[in-house]
Every structure is written in C-alpha cells, then in structure tokens.
C-alpha cells in the first residue's frame, strides 16, 4: 500500500505575538512546527504501513525551509518526501493551494500509484479545513474528513471502513480506495521516533519541484489564481470590562451570590 501524507509547516499559533500597530504577525517571535493534525496523519500512515506493508510518502508546499517538516516526518517513519516550492506559489489561497498540491500528487502518481491520501483536518494557522476536500475534488477521489478512527482495510475489496466525526457523534463510513482522509487528533497518540529514523532524517533531502516541474497553468497559481483576498485585518473586539469585587473572600463571595442568584433562578428553568 502506498500512502501519501500532505503536511504543512505552520507558525506555532500559541506563541505568536502580534504587532498591535500594524496588526501583522511578528515573525521573529514565531517558531515553526509541523501542523499538529498533520503529525497525527503521518503517525497513522506509518502505523498502517507497519500492519499492511507498503510505504509512506510526504508532500508539502512552502518555502525551502519547509524541508524541516518533511524531515520531521521521516523521523516518524515516512520513506519519501516531496517539497513543492516556487515563488509563483506564494500568496495562494485554499483553491489555488489545492490546485498546486493536486498537481504534485498527480506527478507522484505517474511514478507510482497512491492508495490513500492523508491530511490533517485543518492547519492551525489558517484553520480553514478546505485544502483537503479541495485536493480530493481535484483528484476525483472520495473525501472523508474529520476521521477519528480507522476500523478496517479490506484490500481484496479495495475498501476502508472508518469513523467520521459529525456534530454530536460519529458516522461509520465505507469508502472505495483510493480516497482522501483528513484526521482528528483523536485518531492516535504520537509515539517517539526510533533513533535509526532520526539518523535517516538528518541525512534526508526531499525531492523539490518548482512550477516548471509540474504541468500546471500559471493563471491558477498564487495571488492571480486565488479568488479570495484579505481586505482588512484588525484586532479582535474586546468586551467591555466590568466590576472588580473588593473585600474579604467572604464578602466578595456574598456580593457575587447576591448579584447572580436572581438570574440563576431564571436560567435554571
């Protein structure tokens, strides 16, 4: 089985500092990491390959520095890595990004067929969850998003049965292969990488493809190929502050209870 995992290098949004005047991200303050959901996708792919045999390839789009996240995936146990990197890709929105990644995947498929494409459910910088469905759509394969468990593979029938999270529960879905799966963190626990993988990763260089290596059309790329654009950025609206209750602990507790008890009585019913 050949599993391809799409990964993204993202700024660690829990560490981001914003410049309050320009409303831009202070890039020097942000460390980059593998998108946490993608890490679980790689883990799952490696786990499946251990059971069913085959290999795991990684694809990422980004600046040359994004090579770091591909190396990280090699540590986890991936076998191959492809980086799509070109200045003309910059400024792509989700529609354009799915176009570029789908082109890369099609090129890999010419080298060797792919049975499964994995993605994280969304990236923590954009939080759109749109690129996964976009890629599936462009490849013409089923999309199975928000997957929290894979039940079985039936390689004879060429199907997978899995659990897809829905609001208020999950659905059990069967899909033909190849298909694209986006994963929730619940799907597995990340494990520690064995030392041999770390050594392999240190020496690893991914295959890098630019626009000229792919058979695409420039009008679908970057800013030109992106229907959406950011009109304005602004700080989130702050709620107006309220009242600081002052006094001894017993006094403030009494003050609070007096203020709230009427409301609570109403809301309970």
Residues within window 29-68 making contact with another protein, judged by CB under 8 A: none
Q: Toward another protein, which CB reaches closer, 107 or 165?
A: 165
If DSSP codes are grouped into helix, strand and coil, which group holds residue 81? Answer: strand
Cβ atoms of 71 and 220 closer than 8 Å: no
The residue range among 43-51, 89-97, 112-120, 207-215 that interacts with another protein, by the rule CB under 8 A, is: 89-97
For helices 67-76 and 36-52, angle between their N-to-C axes, nearest 10 degrees = 40
User: How many chain residues are in contact with another protein, going by CB under 8 A?
Assistant: 84
Give me the 119-158 binding string for another protein, x by CB under 8 A, dash otherwise: -----xxxxxxxxxxx-xxx--xxxxxx------------
Q: How far is the CB of 50 from another protein (least distance, A)?
A: 26
The residue range among 49-57, 82-90, 208-216, 258-266 that interacts with another protein, by the rule CB under 8 A, is: 258-266
**155 CA to centre of own chain:** 27
Torsion, Cα 78 84 89 94, to 10 degrees, reads: -30
Cβ atoms of 45 and 55 closer than 8 Å: no
Give the separation between CA 9 and CA 13, rounded to whole angstroms.
12
219 binds another protein (CB under 8 A): no
Output phi, psi for 147, to 5 deg.
-80, 130
Sequence-ordered alpha helix ranges (H) in 140-216: 195-203
Integer distance in angstroms from the first to the last C-alpha of the chain?
A: 57
Judged by CB under 8 A, the chain residues 153 through 212 that form the site for another protein are: 161, 163-176, 179
23 binds another protein (CB under 8 A): yes
Q: Toward another protein, which CB reaches closer, 172 or 190?
A: 172
The residue range among 18-26, 40-48, 63-71, 110-118 that interacts with another protein, by the rule CB under 8 A, is: 18-26
The residue range among 13-21, 66-74, 103-111, 196-204 that interacts with another protein, by the rule CB under 8 A, is: 13-21
Tokens of 31: 């460390």
Q: Toward another protein, which CB reaches closer, 156 or 237?
A: 237
């Amino acid at each position: 089985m050949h599993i391809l995992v799409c990964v993204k290098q993202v700024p660690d949004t829990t560490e981001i500092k914003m410049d309050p005047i320009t409303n831009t991200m202070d890039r020097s303050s942000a460390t980059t990491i593998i998108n946490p959901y993608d890490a679980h996708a790689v883990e799952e792919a490696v786990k499946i390959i251990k059971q069913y045999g085959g290999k795991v390839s990684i694809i990422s789009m980004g600046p040359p520095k994004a090579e770091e996240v591909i190396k990280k995936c090699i540590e986890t146990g991936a076998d191959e890595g492809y980086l799509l990197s070109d200045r003309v890709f910059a400024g792509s929105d989700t529609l354009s990004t799915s176009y570029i990644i789908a082109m890369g995947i099609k090129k890999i498929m010419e080298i060797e067929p792919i049975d499964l494409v994995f993605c994280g459910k969304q990236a923590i910088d954009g939080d759109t969850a749109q690129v996964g469905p976009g890629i599936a759509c462009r490849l013409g394969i089923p999309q199975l998003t928000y997957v929290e468990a894979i039940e079985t593979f039936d390689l004879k029938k060429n199907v997978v049965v899995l659990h897809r999270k829905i609001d208020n529960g999950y659905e059990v879905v069967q899909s033909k292969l190849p298909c694209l799966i986006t994963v929730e963190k619940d799907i597995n626990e990340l494990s520690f990488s064995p030392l041999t993988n770390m050594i392999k990763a240190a020496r690893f260089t991914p295959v890098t493809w630019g626009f000229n290596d792919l058979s695409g059309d420039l009008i679908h790329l970057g800013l030109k190929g992106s229907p959406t654009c950011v009109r304005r950025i602004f700080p989130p609206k702050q709620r107006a502050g309220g009242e600081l209750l002052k006094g001894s602990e017993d006094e403030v507790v009494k003050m609070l209870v007096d203020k709230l008890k009427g409301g609570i009585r109403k809301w309970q019913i």
